[in-house]
Structure 1
Amino acid sequence: MKIQKFIFALVVACLVLTSCKTEAKKETPVVAKDAKVEKLAINISGMTCEIGCAKTIQSKLSKKDGVIDAQVVFIDSVAKIKFDANKTSKTDLIAFVDGIAGGDLYKATEKAPTKICDIDCKKDCCTKKDADKKACAEDCKKECCADKKA
């Protein structure tokens, strides 16, 4: 009886160890030389969870023809997509996301581009005595430095 239990436990252990999958490493997407790479950020409403919704949308987008990279951030309800404009378009991608789950669950809209501050906006906007006050004053006039004014 003890031998049967031992053999059974050994078989179960072997099955568990051989059936476990290791996570495949992500391969860097191959981009064709003639690809016209563009980026798109879209707002997605209707997501209710990170694993079921966001990961599903990201997975489906990643498999779509013309998509080079797709990242869906559940917390921000945003999808960031890098795609080949020769194979697909912004309108196609938005319609594709709208159509996931039968078209009734998610609503995608293009996210308005945000202004990106350049490296000079990291200055303390003239709170310190800079040697180049003129350059500092110009930086402080930038919209992205508005929150850093003294």
Structure 2
Amino acid sequence: MLKMNIQKIFFAFIIATLTLSSCKSEAKKETPKETVIAKAELVSLNLSGMTCEMGCAKTIESKLAKKEGVLDAKVIFTDSLATIKYDANKVKKADLIAFVEGIGDGQTYKATESDN
């Protein structure tokens, strides 16, 4: 009889422990993580040195789109213009200009901020 009471108490303790520990795990999952809100800005760059749409413009656009901090990038070959939406918390305009100028051999493309 004493043995059965000890077993019941032991199993009740195990169930209570599991229940309480699972509740703590759930509480941790529901706690929202801190998020840094993107400070989205837009810059237009005049580009020189592009000779074709597929090899130059699309390459620049693709590389910009993959750069950390860039939210969106469009390069229009006919206008020699890149429009870049970026997170100012992660990247600066000067970094974007230097990045574009570093594509390829580092001497082919030149970028300057547009007045638009």
What TM-score does the superposition give when structure 2 sets the normalisation length?
0.69
> SS where residue 102 of structure 1 aligns?
coil
- Which is higher, the Rg of structure 1 or of structure 2? 2
1:48-80 deviations in Å (ceiling 9; x for gaps): 000000000000000000000000000000000
SS across alignment from 1:54: helix
State how many pairs are aligned.
82
2:64 equivalent in structure 1: 61
Match of 2:89 in 1: 86
Q: In the alignment, which residue of structure 2 is the partner of 1:104?
A: 107
**Is the strand fraction higher in 1 or 2?**
2
RMSD: 1.1
1:98-137 aligned at under 5 Å gives the runs: 98-113=101-116
| Runs of 4+ residues deviating >6 angstroms | none
Which residue of structure 2 aligns with residue 47 of structure 1?
50
Shift of 1:41: 0.1
Tell me the TM-score normalized by structure 1.
0.53
Q: Within 2, Cα distance between the matches of 1:64 and 1:78?
A: 18
Give me the whole-angstrom Cα distance separating, in 1, the residues matched to 2:95 and 2:36. Answer: 22
Pair 1:38-2:36 in alignment: no
Q: Percent identity?
A: 62
Unaligned 5+ residue runs, structure 2?
Answer: 1-34
